[in-house]
Amino acid sequence: VIAERGVAPASVLGMGLSVCGLVDQQAGRIVFSPNHGWRDVPVRTELRRNLAFPVFIENDARISALGEELFGVAKGVEDFVLVNGAAGIGVGIVSTGRLVDGTSGWAGEFGHMTIALDGPVCGCGNRGCWEALASEHALLARVPGQRGAPAGGVTDDERPERWRLVASVAAAAAAGDVVAGAAIRETGRYLGIGVANVINALNPSLVVIGGGLSEAADLLLPEVRAEVAARAMRELQGVCRIETAALGIDTCAMGGVALAINELYTPSHLRIARPA
């Protein structure tokens, strides 16, 4: 990328890298990525062999929350969640302006909460997980002729292709295609059920829908809002907006920028989004 853009390597201050799954930030390794089937991958060590600048890594949903907090729709919002609807679903939780880590830095794996008793098998080994019912893959699997989750996992190269497919399903639905419309409605309903659960659990003032599903947000959001209206506690839904990520599919990339800025330039006691 640096060579392609004609950027002088010496002017690069750092890299913020987004990866799917559970990340050990201190060690710079992927602990487990259900969508790729990866365990124990020392990403930073591999990258640092060829790069002269610092590399920071973070989970894709959590890094996307940083992106929307610094550059997007969550600017100045103290308590919000970002629902990253990608190959899977992850949630970045920001509370009182800081990214919630949990004991291992893995808080936010709502994608693996069980939504359907005997639902489809998920990459984590469970059945009926939220992400097995409401992710990009789940949407595409509902449209015959489109691909669902490939058995061998998903490579990053396929990501723009998935975004294009999500956008094409949304366009077909908007043009009146019955199958595409039903796929959007079912996916939106499952997405909304999970969002209602997240709202009840965390009491955010804003839910941001990001990831590739943001390509179909105009059609998904009404379904999500209807499910939340029907299912979340009235008091909690009454103080919560649901919006699309302002940066769309670039949220994750801009989150990498936000992560690097945060790590490089913010004194640890002032960091807006990550404890030292």
Q: Which residues bind Zn ion (CB under 5 A)?
A: 112, 122, 124, 126, 129
Where is 69: in which H helix or E strand? helix 60-71
Residue 132 CB, nearest distance to Zn ion (Å)?
A: 6
User: What Rg value do the Cα atoms of the chain yield, rounded?
Assistant: 18
Nearest Cα to 220, choosing from 232, 233, 201, 207?
207
Indicate the residue among 67 and 108 with the shorter CB distance to Zn ion.
Answer: 108
Closest distance to Zn ion from the beta carbon of 126 (Å): 5
Q: Which is nearer to Zn ion, 21 or 210 (CB)?
A: 21
CA atoms within 13 A on the CB side of 119: 20
Rounded CA-CA distance 260/56 in Å is 7
Q: How far is the CB of 128 from Zn ion (least distance, A)?
A: 9
Please, what is the minimum distance in Å from the beta carbon of residue 124 to Zn ion? 3
Cβ distance to Zn ion smaller for residue 74 or 132: 132
Which lies closer to Zn ion via its Cβ, residue 69 or residue 131? Answer: 131
Q: How far is the CB of 142 from Zn ion (least distance, A)?
A: 18
To the nearest whole angstrom, how small is the minimum distance from the Cβ of residue 112 to Zn ion? 4
Tokens representing 134 are: 């409401």
* Strand segments (E) across the chain: 15-19, 22-24, 29-33, 38-41, 55-59, 80-85, 89-95, 98-99, 206-210, 241-244
Q: Residue 153 or residue 222: which is nearer to Zn ion going by CB?
A: 153
Beta-bridge partner residues of 255: none
Burial 153-175 (b: 16+ CB within 10 A, else e): bbeeeebeebbebbebbbebbee
Decide whether 131 or 223 has the Cβ nearer to Zn ion. 131
Asked if 72 and 208 touch (Cβ cutoff 8 Å), the reply is: yes
